[in-house]
Amino acid sequence: MKFTQRVQQLPPYLFVEISRRIAAKKAEGKRVVSFGIGDPDLATPDPVLERLAEASHDRPNHRYPETEGLPEFREAVAGWYEKRFGVGLDPKTEVLSLIGAKEGIGHIALGLLEPGDVALQPDPSYPVYNVGTLFAGAEPYWMPLNEEGGWLPNLDAIPTGVAEKAQVMWLNYPNNPTGAVADLDFFDRAVSYCKRNDIALLHDACYTEVAFDGYQPVSALEIPGAKDICLEFHSLSKSYNMTGWRVGMAVGNADLIRALFLVKSNLDSGVSQAVQQMGIRAMDTPQSYLDERNAHYQVRRDNVISALKGVGLNVEPPKASLYVWAPVPAGFTAASFATAILDDLDMVVTPGTGYGKFGEGYIRLSLTLSDDDLEEGVRRLETWKVPTA
């Protein structure tokens, strides 16, 4: 059988490879501790689960949902954005339900990019930005992120010829994989840049509700005029421990929402209405729940940071996100250090190169494993003598 070029050029999805490594170790009878995948281990709040149980008995929810989402779900999203960020949204035209943010992030390229177009993409970054670009037949232009620049792209370094071909720019703060954050001043500059160059600004904001030390992440849509060119992707997955239920949202510019709706309406049938009603309940969860949950993650973060520093890694605690981004020791590559950890400690960490070539020299550790596994991983690190590269 013949397979398309778009499929043949795709690398294996990063977390599939991680899962295979874990399975191989377990087959050897090893207890594997995985800091690999960012999938919250904490339970979905009970009131949210109770709402799903109730909604599952409603007969209308047994039928196809509408692609754009229930009116009451879109109204709840608009209300949540107003309360959380002070951003006003028209629930009829500026909010769209998603089968998890990943689905919308992948599909938007089919509405905005054609062969010959350019997508401005950060490196390192969440791999799905580039997958969507490749599926649309467009070309990526990589915007390097580095520690010296605060893990923010240097917009002034983008060549004029590239900007003229660019149709979209991807940003993601709080950031996966680096844990970096961006302030309103940076978003103001990004919005201005995209307006000058007629570029759609696509912001992946899925980690705004996981933050530490009193830090409060912002939305790109807080910038005056951002809705002229911006579409923001959000999710209830990381915010309310709902990765398995697959519900998220795209919000912002009505024309961009319409483009994504047209793609989705031809490719999927929308989010289960019972799950949307579950999401409505989630967005009504008291802030105290998020504060307590984030305090739990912060303890995990601090324990991991302490263990990494104990083996000589100069790592800074992130202000937000579910990840610790750590430089590897001199003489190692990202892959060789991740392999040493796997071989010596039966522990999985993700090499930074899984997120792009500028991720070289770093590893990512997720904070979403159980407390028992995290404590075991920390114990193994504390007793480890790093081998000579």
- 319 with 174: CB under 8 angstroms? yes
User: For position 15, what pLDDT does the model report?
Assistant: 64
| Planar angle of CA 347, 350, 179, nearest 5 degrees | 120
Q: Residue 73 sits in which domain range?
A: 46-283
Residue 40 lies in a domain: yes
236 with 145, same domain: the answer is yes
Which residue, of 283, 308, 323, is where some domain finishes? 283
Placement of tokens 């160059």 in the chain: 197
CATH of the domain at 292: 3.90.1150.10
163 with 237, same domain: the answer is yes
Query: What phi and psi, each to the nearest 5 degrees, are found at residue 37?
Result: -90, 140
| Gap between the Cα atoms of 318 and 325, Å rounded | 8
53 with 17, same domain: the answer is no
Placement of tokens 């892959």 in the chain: 335
| Gap between the Cα atoms of 370 and 372, Å rounded | 5
User: For position 389, what pLDDT does the model report?
Assistant: 66
Is a pLDDT exceeding 90 seen at residue 6? no
Is a pLDDT exceeding 80 seen at residue 110? yes
Q: Is the dihedral of CA 102, 105, 106, 107 positive or negative?
A: positive
| Gap between the Cα atoms of 170 and 203, Å rounded | 6
Model pLDDT for residues 287-304, shown as the tens digit of each residue: 999 999 999 999 999 999
| Gap between the Cα atoms of 142 and 124, Å rounded | 9
Model pLDDT for residues 69-102, shown as the tens digit of each residue: 999 999 999 999 999 999 999 999 999 999 999 9
294 with 265, same domain: the answer is no
Residue 200 lies in a domain: yes
Residue 63 lies in a domain: yes
| Gap between the Cα atoms of 44 and 42, Å rounded | 7
51 with 40, same domain: the answer is no
Which residue, of 283, 315, 341, is where some domain finishes? 283
323 with 246, same domain: the answer is no
Model pLDDT for residues 174-192, shown as the tens digit of each residue: 999 999 999 999 999 999 9
Q: Which of 69, 41, 96, 73 has the alpha carbon at shortest distance from 283?
A: 73
Please enumerate in sequence order all residues whose Cβ is within 8 A of that of 159, keeping only pairs 6 or more positions apart, or say none. Answer: none
Q: What is the arithmetic mean of pLDDT over 362-369?
A: 97
303 with 368, same domain: the answer is yes
111 with 192, same domain: the answer is yes
79 with 22, same domain: the answer is no
CATH of the domain at 272: 3.40.640.10
